[in-house]
Amino acid sequence: MSLESVYGQVLNEHNLHPFHKGETEGATLMLEGKNPSCGDDIILQLKVSEDGTIEDGSFAGSGCAISQASVDIMLDLIIGETKERALELVGEFMNMIHGKATEEEIEDLDEAGALKDISHMPARVKCAVLGWHTLEEMLK
Amino acid sequence: MTDNKYRADFPIFEKHPCVYLDSAATAQRPRVVIEAEKEFYETMNANPLRGLYDLSVKATEAYERSREETASFIGAESPDEIIFTRNTTESLNLVAYSYAMNFIKPGDEIVTTVMEHHSNMLPWQAAAEKTGAKLLYLEPDEEGNFSDDEIVTKINDRTALVAVGHVSNVMGCVNPVKKIAERAHRYGAVVVVDGAQSTPHMQVDIKQLGADFFAFSGHKLMGPMGVGVLYGRRDLLEKMPPFLTGGEMIESVTLKKTVYAAIPHKFEAGTVNAAGAFALAAAIRYLKAVGFDEIRQTEDRLVELIFEGFAKSSHIHILGSKDPKMHNGIVSFTMDDVHPHDISSILDADGINIRAGHHCAQPLMEYLKVGSTARASVYLYNDEEDIQKFVEKTLKVRRWLGLES
């Protein structure tokens, strides 16, 4: 696996210039996710409408480039979607990170597909899934 | 070609070529240690201390000879004062559970430092909670030094036990154990020293240090994993109850009453790791043959090269002393806007192995106001080529993440 395939443009862009870092006004859900072994720590906020649409979202906290970029990309994907669709994306992302996703699933994940080679970096899997796992916990 | 004549003694570098810079976590093993473990199982394997037949006697002799060599390695008066455990953590827990929880009273004070590895902190938190003692922490300056004032104020007539690391696993500094022990002994307190990071790098003399208990691990000084050591002063060990009870630690057992074995066997319940102890003795012999002066020279030269290399970047910050000679082979560092885990992954792509995280010293990280750090640690088998590769790649890490280097 080449380093470029992980630390590429998409990851670096989302890490250095996250679109969704900060607070969500009128947030209806909030949950903290932690990786005790790395010290990665994020607080995910979502504003979910009564009909179950994720209208807005944000994250705060600190962590490695992989955890930060991954949660930012995730928010890009799920804002505007229903809770059900967001959970579907979580399932696809988990499959991808564990090296079990189909071509279609990876395509469906759009920019998050840029993280697929993390499946070859077992030590970093927990960084990549931190935001997604926190989202799943929130919505379930 | 390496300029390091010891490197060829370590099969790992042949079978898994890598730049190994994580010896503070665990060292690599020379062939003689691996062979010793094999030799034990091939030529003297029986359950030691039990059987009356020749093979068991052989196993027992090998095990007890290893205890003698270990005692002389750290300057213990008698092999009876050496207890084999699994590792430093178990050794320190033994002291906390068998000594501290039985002899420390409510209102007493236990003193440790914010610099400790969790294994020399959590047992004292547990002991303080159990006994009603108060736990105090010595606070160092940012280079890792404890002021006299700090030592004098916190160690006093209320102090019952002082637990201190000999060498910090984060900053690499040597703590003033002798000074702390003298102060503690003036008030009759017991001194526990965590020697996990010192024993691989320097000649330890427990008498000279003033340690009443001294704990270390085999695996950090090139011995096998799963064998550790606790030295304890005879009179203390004799009055302590056993840590674990069961097989091979008794004099006699009836349904009503048990008479425990004498030290050290009182503290070694169950089948012991005799092969591990035998191989640990081989590691000690290897260490002595290389010599601590030689080890020190190699480490200081390599740490100095890291310092020189890192000086080329204004974004890299080394923790602890500014003097490379004060680091005992350990260089922890941070990089602006980069998480240590990314540093570690980027280096790993070139087979360069370093540690990243909080190094089991979360309170110290908090105290130094760093989230987590990267740590490179060198040992006698590293060479200049290792350091050159490591420094070169580390200086490129920021560029990999789209930042100015």
Residues A7, B403: C-beta atoms closer than 8 Å: no
Our CA-based measurement puts residue A35 at a distance from the nearest CA of chain B, in whole angstroms, of 11
Q: What is the CATH number of the domain that holds B167?
A: 3.40.640.10
Which residues in chain B are contacts of A39 at CB distance < 8 A? Answer: 357-358, 365, 371-372
1-30 in A: which are within 8 Å (CB) of B?
1-3, 6-7, 9, 12-13, 15-16
Question: Does B107 fall in a domain?
Answer: yes
Q: Are residues B59 and B150 in the same domain?
A: yes
* pLDDT confidence tier of residue A39, bands split at 50, 70 and 90: confident
The CA distance from B173 to B58, in Å, is 42
Across B273-296, b (16+ Cβ under 10 Å) vs e yields bbbbbbbbbbbbebbeebeeeebb
Which residues in chain B are contacts of A6 at CB distance < 8 A? Answer: 345
Pick one of 3.40.50.720, 3.40.190.10, 3.90.1010.10, 2.60.120.330 as the CATH number of A3-139: 3.90.1010.10
Question: Does B245 fall in a domain?
Answer: yes
Of A1, A12, A124, the CB nearest to B401: A12
Q: Are residues B308 and B218 in the same domain?
A: no
Question: Does B13 fall in a domain?
Answer: no
Amino acid in position B68: E
Q: Which two tokens stand for residue A88?
A: 């579907």
User: Which of B287, B314, B332 is the last residue in one of the domains?
Assistant: B287
Residues B372, A124: C-beta atoms closer than 8 Å: no
Q: What is the CATH number of the domain that holds B386?
A: 3.90.1150.10
Q: Is A63 on the interface with B (CB under 8 A)?
A: yes
Q: Which two tokens stand for residue B359?
A: 């190094």
Question: Does B352 fall in a domain?
Answer: yes
Q: Are residues B259 and B298 in the same domain?
A: no
User: Which of B287, B309, B328 is the last residue in one of the domains?
Assistant: B287
Q: Is B339 on the interface with A (CB under 8 A)?
A: yes
Q: Are residues B234 and B86 in the same domain?
A: yes
Question: Does B269 fall in a domain?
Answer: yes
Which residues in chain B are contacts of A1 at CB distance < 8 A? Answer: 349
Q: Give me the tens of pLDDT residue by residue for chain B, a chain 405 residues long.
A: 678 999 999 999 999 999 999 999 999 999 999 999 999 999 999 999 877 899 999 999 999 999 999 999 999 999 999 999 999 999 999 999 999 999 999 999 999 999 999 999 999 999 999 999 999 999 999 889 999 999 999 999 999 999 999 999 999 999 999 999 999 999 999 999 999 999 999 999 999 999 999 999 999 999 999 999 999 999 999 999 999 988 778 888 888 888 888 999 999 999 999 999 999 999 999 999 999 999 999 999 999 999 999 999 999 999 999 999 999 999 999 999 999 999 999 999 999 999 998 778 888 888 888 878 999 999 999 999 999 999 999 999 999 999 987
**Tokens 């191989």 correspond to what residue?**
B279
Domains in chain B, number: 2
ipTM, interface predicted TM-score of the complex = 0.90
Residues B345, A6: C-beta atoms closer than 8 Å: yes
Question: Does B1 fall in a domain?
Answer: no
- Report DSSP state, residue B200: T
The CA distance from B376 to A80, in Å, is 45
Which residues in chain A are contacts of B346 at CB distance < 8 A? Answer: 3, 7
Q: Are residues B92 and B197 in the same domain?
A: yes
Which residue range(s) make up the domain with B358? 291-400
Residues A38, B345: C-beta atoms closer than 8 Å: no
Our CA-based measurement puts residue A70 at a distance from the nearest CA of chain B, in whole angstroms, of 14
User: Which of B287, B321, B356 is the last residue in one of the domains?
Assistant: B287
Question: Does B24 fall in a domain?
Answer: no
